Chains A and B, each alone.
Chain A
Amino acid sequence: MISLRRSKVMKLLLTSNYAAAYGAKLARVEIVAAYPITPQTQVVEKLAEFIEGEELKATMIRVESEHSAMAACIGAAAAGARPFTATSSQGLLYMYEMIWWAAGARLPIVMGVVTRAIAPPWSIWSDHADILSIRDSGWIIIFSESAQEVLDNIIQAYRIAEHKEVLLPVAVGWDAFTSSHTAEPVSLPEQELVDSFLPPRTPEPFVLDVNEPISHGNLTYPDEYMEFRFLINEGLERARKVIREVGKEYGKLTGREYGLIEEYKCGDADVILVTLGSMAGDVKDAVDILRKEGYHAGLVKLRCLRPFPREALLNALREARAVGIVERSFSMGRGGIIATEINSLLRESGVNDVVTVSYIAGLGGREIGVNDFINIFKSLFKKMERGSGFEVVWYGLRG
């Protein structure tokens, strides 16, 4: 295994997987419990290396499955520690029961999700069906475009998860291979800087303690259950503000500020594409190329999927004449998962004079790049003349 020693160069060349491991290390995680799965494996390999080399003081819990990995994180978080795990695709599904447990028990766990397609057909490549399967569980879901964002997001995720107004687990996603195995320059913040931003966790009064035994997750009767579910939603709603504040503060320290969404040249845009993850970089290049040809094109990159950035999206999209949502996910029997949410946001907010198109693209790692986004933009500039409506397009589907 190559060890990337710090050199005179400011930036390290890291894959998103390694960036995640560096992020967890800088966050001084105390427990790592994970089960290997392509394409997540190097995240945990690198963390094991850090622990072995005593660069990170943490306990690696070897588990026999993802279900147990999350269970170990739940136990650790319930006892007041700072746990980290990472998984992907089938692994996330195998963990599913514990996913809901983590959110319901209000435990500040951070999990990396290397987003990959779900089988069958068997596929190890990029797709967002896995991470979107936890959409309604109460987890905060944050997505990353680059290795730098993976590192920054994991550090911020602990601040958000452990915030007393939130107390919910956070999933940080990045694309299989396109991000997980692509090496990019990453600025590593100094450990002292991260320490000042993210102090050790101060556990809540209700953590597990052998000296004052309590139990968690007990049976609630029908006249109590609803209230606890309501409280989860309240935590998520409050997280919106916390995520923005944390992103601002991180920006002051590192020069890289984060919000719920990122707007790219949306101000005067007639057509806006909404996307997430590594595709956003290609869309930015497409926007620049089209702008040189006189098209008013823009991009909204979704950083935060849950809580849903309602106001931010509405602000960014309300003046557009056409909005295309390009996503690697689909709700069978309905449409693009994110697209239907954005379409209903626009309509319920009284924005009717806009064409929304749900583009299903890049499933199972199907290639998609700058030229494809230029095509999509151009067809949206035509569709925008319709004035209103909603449509689902499977982009690049072979007959």
Chain B
Amino acid sequence: MRVITPIAKPKEGSAGLTGKWRIFKPVINYSKCNNCGLCWLYCPEAAITLDGKNVPKIVYEYCKGCGICANECPVRAIDLIKEE
């Protein structure tokens, strides 16, 4: 069917390749991560996926580097590293 009204699906990449906006790159330190899933919940670009065991993974093509995940992580398991 032809889409006659603007619709957006909640998925990564709805704002384009936002990975190019990044100045700081969030990197998960898996030895600290307790798999709470908060980063996944808060990421505004839906750029974090969780697997069956709640292990988060950041999709860097779409992660825009806003740092919200790092800010929300209760155990400070996400570091922000300056992009090259």
Contacts and interface: CB of A to CB of B under 8 A. Distances in A.
Contacts of B5: 120-121
A121 B3 CA distance: 12
B6 interface: yes
A221 interface: no
A122 B5 CA distance: 11
Interface residues of A, number: 3
B25 to A, nearest CB: 30
Interface string A120-135: 1110000000000000
Interface string B42-69: 0000000000000000000000000000
A120 B5 CA distance: 8
Interface string B5-39: 11000000000000000000000000000000000
A121 B6 CA distance: 6
A122 B6 CA distance: 9
Interface string A122-150: 10000000000000000000000000000
Nearest to B5: A120
A89 B35 CA distance: 45
A221 to B, nearest CB: 44
Interface in A80-136: 120-122
A120 B6 CA distance: 7
Contacts of A121: 5-6
Contacts of A122: 6
Nearest to A123: B6
A120 B8 CA distance: 13
A121 B8 CA distance: 11
B47 to A, nearest CB: 22
A122 B8 CA distance: 12
Nearest to B6: A121
A110 to B, nearest CB: 35
A269 to B, nearest CB: 40
A178 B32 CA distance: 50
A103 B67 CA distance: 50
B8 to A, nearest CB: 10
Contacts of A120: 5-6
B30 to A, nearest CB: 39
Contacts of B6: 120-122
A121 B7 CA distance: 9
A300 B6 CA distance: 36
A288 B48 CA distance: 55
A298 to B, nearest CB: 39
Interface string A205-217: 0000000000000
A121 to B, nearest CB: 4
Nearest to A122: B6
B14 to A, nearest CB: 13
A245 to B, nearest CB: 47
A397 to B, nearest CB: 15
B9 to A, nearest CB: 15
Interface in A271-319: none
5 contacts: A120-B5, A120-B6, A121-B5, A121-B6, A122-B6
Interface of B: 5-6
What are the 3 tightest A-B residue pairs by CB atom distance, in nearest-first order?
A121-B6, A120-B6, A120-B5
